[in-house]
């Protein structure tokens, strides 16, 4: 089978305004990938005739398969047919079966059908008509200039019905599909995107099948591996082989695949070591604990959390010595360590973790916004305290502090414990 370059175009100003999400494109892409068809472009066009025409012309010149969703309704702004016909130059005809379905809908609901609703039954003269038993406007398949065009309603339930009932079987026959595409997202923490790419440059620069795509997100990095094979098993085997080669190089930063989160991984490691944890949070305001308890089963490892935002509450509730606060301030290594120790002590937990710092926008205690101290106390003899400076606004600083806390815990738990582990 030759490589099929597919494109998905969504029609509707509501998509551009963010009033609804373009979930149609995501769903269609997944279905095409499962059949071995690559999607190279996603596009969204508002209800503007000239821009629709321009977009369709571009798609005709660069893609083998174009799937268009939306703009097949009865109103004036439903212009998909007319814009596409500037390209096709075909006569638009009323499809009798589709018109009958539209008329039946209004009769069944005791409503009068306005004349413009006949527009929903219009189809291209040389189209393969896909009868829509979930709605009114039919789908259409049109071949033009060596490109296969598929037009579907924008309503998700109608689009999915037509894709599953008609489009996917048609594509399997049309392209003689015998290819499976399999992807796996590898997730890493504690290494930056540029460093990860540097370590794997020899693989990335020579990639063919499978492919490697680095993807950065806040506080961590992902690698999406994608393989194409004649069978799913063949593609999975190719992914497994490449994954092993990658983890042989950067496996110390790897925490999981696909939908695994760092919170889930930390909880898994805590359970494995039969350890409990408690948190003392200042600038993070309980966010670390909130993310932990959002994971099912967290109650077996998470003892609790104390949010102590002011110096007085750190002293009164946590037991941070007043002399320590007066001498070093609350935004300090000393205060962070005392918070972790007392969180551990007050909850009888195996681990205490603390967060203190300046989220911004103003400085605090002479420290710049973005200054954060994170401390971890494990059992009675292992202490860790780190100072960080995170760029960004207030919420970014808080989120990055929480992610860094999970990163420190992950690497500490993964390495195991020794009585010599003590650092500042």
- Note the pLDDT tens digit of each residue in 380-413: 878 999 999 999 999 999 999 999 999 999 999 9
Domain 5-175 has CATH 3.40.980.10: yes
281 forms beta bridges with 307, 355
- Residue 55 CA to chain centroid, in angstroms? 27
Can the peptide bond before residue 361 be classed as cis, meaning omega within 30 degrees of 0? yes
Query: CATH number of the domain at 262-415, out of 3.40.50.12780, 3.90.950.20, 3.30.360.10, 3.30.70.60?
Result: 3.90.950.20
Q: Read off the pLDDT band of 420 (50, 70, 90).
A: very low
Give per-residue burial for 195-222: e unless 16+ CB within 10 Å, then b: ebbeebeebbeeeeebebeeeeeebbbb
Please compute the mean of the pLDDT values over residues 106-119 and round it to a whole number. 86
Residue keyed to tokens 């590898």: 186
Nearest to 68 by CA among 150, 186, 6: 150
pLDDT at 415: 85
Please compute the mean of the pLDDT values over residues 341-353 and round it to a whole number. 97
Note the pTM of the prediction, 2 decimals: 0.71
* % of the chain beyond a pLDDT of 70: 98
Please compute the mean of the pLDDT values over residues 105-128 and round it to a whole number. 89
3-state helix vs strand vs coil in the chain, percent to 5: 45, 25, 30
Between 182 and 402, residue with greater pLDDT: 402
Q: How many CB atoms lie within 10 A of CB 316?
A: 12
Query: Any idea what DSSP says for residue 281?
Result: E
Residue 205 corresponds to which tokens in the numbers above?
């620069």
How is 326-355 classified by DSSP, letter by letter? HHH-SSSHHHHHHHHHHHHHHHT-SEEEEE
306 forms beta bridges with 280
Cβ(375)–Cβ(354) below 8 Å = yes
pLDDT at 422 > cutoff 60:
no
The mean of the pLDDT values for the chain is: 93
Q: What is the spatial distance between Cα 185 and Cα 39, in angstroms, rounded to a whole number?
A: 18
pLDDT at 328 > cutoff 70:
yes
Side-chain half-sphere of 404: how many Cα atoms within 13 Å?
A: 24
Cβ(29)–Cβ(179) below 8 Å = no
pLDDT at 299: 96
Residues in contact with 119: Cβ distance below 8 Å, sequence separation at least 6, in sequence order: 73, 74, 78
Q: What is the spatial distance between Cα 44 and Cα 16, in angstroms, rounded to a whole number?
A: 7
Cβ(105)–Cβ(112) below 8 Å = no
Can the peptide bond before residue 233 be classed as cis, meaning omega within 30 degrees of 0? no
Q: Which helix (H) or strand (E) holds 66?
A: strand 65-69
How is 299-334 classified by DSSP, letter by letter? GGTEEEEEE--SHHHIIIII---HHHHHHH-SSSHH
In the chain, what are the domain boundaries? 5-175, 180-257, 262-415
Strand duo 220-229 + 277-281: pairing: unpaired
Between 422 and 295, residue with greater pLDDT: 295
CATH number of 180-257: 3.30.70.2860
Q: Read off the pLDDT band of 107 (50, 70, 90).
A: confident
């Amino acid at each position: 089978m030759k490589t099929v370059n597919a494109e998905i175009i969504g029609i509707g100003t509501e998509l551009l305004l963010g009033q609804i999400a373009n979930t149609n494109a995501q769903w269609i892409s997944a279905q095409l990938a499962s059949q071995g068809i690559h999607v190279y472009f996603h596009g969204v066009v508002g209800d503007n005739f000239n821009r629709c025409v321009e977009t369709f012309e571009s798609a005709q010149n660069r893609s083998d398969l174009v799937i268009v969703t939306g703009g097949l309704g009865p109103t004036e702004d439903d212009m998909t047919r007319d814009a596409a016909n500037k390209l096709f130059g075909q006569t638009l005809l009323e499809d009798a079966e589709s018109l009958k379905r539209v008329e039946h809908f209004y009769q069944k609901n005791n409503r009068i059908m306005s004349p413009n609703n006949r527009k929903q039954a219009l189809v291209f003269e040389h189209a393969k008509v896909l009868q829509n038993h979930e709605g009114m406007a039919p789908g259409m398949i049109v071949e033009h200039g060596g490109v296969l065009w598929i037009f579907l309603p924008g309503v998700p339930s109608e689009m999915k019905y037509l894709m599953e009932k008609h489009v996917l079987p048609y594509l399997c026959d049309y392209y003689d599909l015998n290819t499976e595409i399999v992807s796996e997202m590898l997730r890493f923490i504690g290494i930056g995107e540029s460093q990860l790419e540097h370590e794997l440059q020899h693989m990335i620069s020579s990639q063919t099948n499978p492919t490697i795509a680095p993807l950065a997100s806040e506080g961590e990095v992902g690698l999406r591996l994608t393989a194409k094979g004649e069978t799913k098993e063949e593609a999975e085997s190719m992914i497994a082989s490449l994954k092993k080669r990658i983890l042989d190089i950067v496996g110390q930063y790897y925490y999981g695949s696909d939908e695994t989160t760092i919170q889930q991984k930390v909880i898994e490691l805590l359970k494995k070591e039969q350890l409990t944890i408690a948190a003392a949070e200042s600038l993070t305001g309980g966010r670390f604990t909130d993310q932990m308890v959002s994971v099912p089963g967290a109650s077996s490892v998470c003892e609790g959390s104390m949010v102590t935002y002011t110096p007085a509450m750190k002293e009164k509730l946590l037991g941070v010595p007043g002399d320590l606060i007066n001498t070093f301030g609350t935004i300090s290594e000393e205060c962070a360590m005392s918070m972790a120790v007392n969180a551990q002590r007050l909850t009888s937990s195996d681990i205490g973790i603390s967060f203190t710092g300046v989220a911004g926008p103003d400085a605090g205690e002479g420290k710049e916004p973005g200054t954060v101290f994170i401390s971890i106390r494990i059992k009675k003899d292992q202490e860790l305290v780190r100072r960080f400076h995170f760029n960004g606004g207030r919420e970014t600083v808080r989120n990055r502090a929480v992610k860094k806390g999970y990163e420190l815990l992950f690497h500490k738990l993964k390495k195991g414990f020794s009585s010599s582990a003590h650092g500042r």
